[in-house]
Amino acid sequence: MASKSLPGKLIVKTGKFVWTTMWQIMMSQLAPRNQTGEYIRPESQFRNSISETDKLNPYQPGANRYRLFVGMGCPWAHRTLVTRALKGLEDAIAVSVVYPSPDAGIWVLSEPELGCNTVPELYQLSQAGYKGRCTVPILWDESTNTIVNNESAEIIELLNSEFNQYAQHSDVDLYPTEHKQQIDQWNEKIYQTVNNGVYRCGFAQTQQAYDAACQELFSTLDEVDQVLAHNRYLCGDFLTLADVRLFTTLFRFDIVYYGLFKCNLRRIADYNNLGAYLRDLYQLPGVAATCDLESVKQDYYGNLFPLNPGGIIPLGPDIASLLQPHHRDKITVNP
């Protein structure tokens, strides 16, 4: 007697229901949302500073005292590596690279350090009973075995200002006092609509939330492209932390955000000014060495299961174009 198969329509409806339910459960763990389905990024918990002028501060500047724990695919951690390179702090601040575990959903150390095998264990070593998110980057104090700071925006400010006596490029100031207001304005806009904006697109759980985030993202990119028609960098003819913060998102944009995160109205390569600006920043001394294409693709396509269940990692793109001439040094800056 021939067996009867289930109707195709029922199979499809059942499959969609099961997958949608599981997707919503997984996304709720991966990406906290509000009532409209918009991704809400939790705040970092360790916000200590390093200061030589504040003698009561237990964290004083020092060579070979502090270590960065970073994931090479993470744009937030990438900021710290770029700043470290631009300041010439490679000999003063060590780096340990961690990797995401796709099954456990945590960062793991490439080899045991301080008796720890995972980033959550580092957090517990620093603060017993810690219940928050265990993220990178981490600025770690090897003298006290504690986390100084895990907020990338603050770590790069510390790297810029508090280690000049150990920096090979101490004359480089990426956050000059006279331009802080302008830099902060760019940082605020870029964080909300671009740095976090791509995540608001990729992690959106409703069409409404996605549409709003995508429109804001490309509105800011269009605005930046117009500014860069007359400015070599965001604030003029000098590099700042605002450029560093934008760069790490732009580097990943055509590689992962354009496709995986549905940020596909335009590529960065499609912008005359933004595309050349990205090449300019990539070609700055030491920066290209911080850019790990394969780790970026592996971390996003291989580990974000709800966005790429098959785990297939694309072969491209070819980033050799980032070495092409940019001609940004020929721009006449607006007065």
Contact 85, 287 (CB under 8 A): yes
Give the helix/strand (H/E) hosting 67: strand 66-71
Give residue 264's identity as a one-letter amino acid code: N
Please state the domain extents for the chain.
66-166, 177-330
- Judge whether residue 6 has pLDDT over 90: no
Do strands 146-149 and 66-71 pair parallel, antiparallel, or not at all (unpaired)?
unpaired
Tokens standing for 240?
């700042």
pLDDT digits (tens, 9 = 90+) for 200-212: 999 998 999 999 9
The hierarchical CATH code for the domain 66-166 is: 3.40.30.10
Q: Which residue has the tokens 């740095």?
A: 195
Mean pLDDT for the chain overall: 91
pLDDT digits (tens, 9 = 90+) for 98-121: 999 978 889 999 999 999 999 999
Residue 332 has a pLDDT of 77
pLDDT digits (tens, 9 = 90+) for 284-318: 999 999 999 999 999 999 988 888 989 999 999 99
Q: How far apart are CA 121 and CA 107, in angstroms?
A: 10
Q: Could you confirm whether 214 is annotated as catalytic?
A: no
Answer whether 66-166 and 177-330 agree in fold.
no
Question: Which of these is catalytic: 39, 66, 166, 199?
Answer: 199
283 Cβ partners below 8 Å, 6+ apart?
Answer: 322, 323, 326
Options 1.20.1050.10, 3.30.56.10, 3.40.630.190, 1.20.1050.40; CATH of 177-330: 1.20.1050.10
Q: How far apart are CA 97 and CA 111, in angstroms?
A: 9
Question: Which of these is catalytic: 39, 59, 66, 74?
Answer: 74
Residue 305 has a pLDDT of 85
Neighbours of 171 (CB within 10 A): 9
271 Cβ partners below 8 Å, 6+ apart?
Answer: 221, 225
Tokens standing for 143?
């003298």
Band (9; pLDDT cuts 50, 70, 90): confident
Q: How far apart are CA 147 and CA 127, in angstroms?
A: 8
pLDDT digits (tens, 9 = 90+) for 61-99: 999 999 999 999 999 999 999 999 999 999 999 999 999
Q: How far apart are CA 67 and CA 163, in angstroms?
A: 13
Q: How far apart are CA 132 and CA 189, in angstroms?
A: 27
Q: How far apart are CA 333 and CA 335, in angstroms?
A: 6
Residue 4 has a pLDDT of 59
Mean pLDDT of 33-58: 81
Q: How far apart are CA 194 and CA 200, in angstroms?
A: 9
Q: Could you confirm whether 263 is annotated as catalytic?
A: no
Q: Is the peptide bond before 120 cis (omega within 30 degrees of 0)?
A: no
DSSP code per residue over 268-286: GGG-HHHHHHHHHHHTSTT
Contact 136, 74 (CB under 8 A): yes
Report percent pLDDT > 90 for the chain: 78
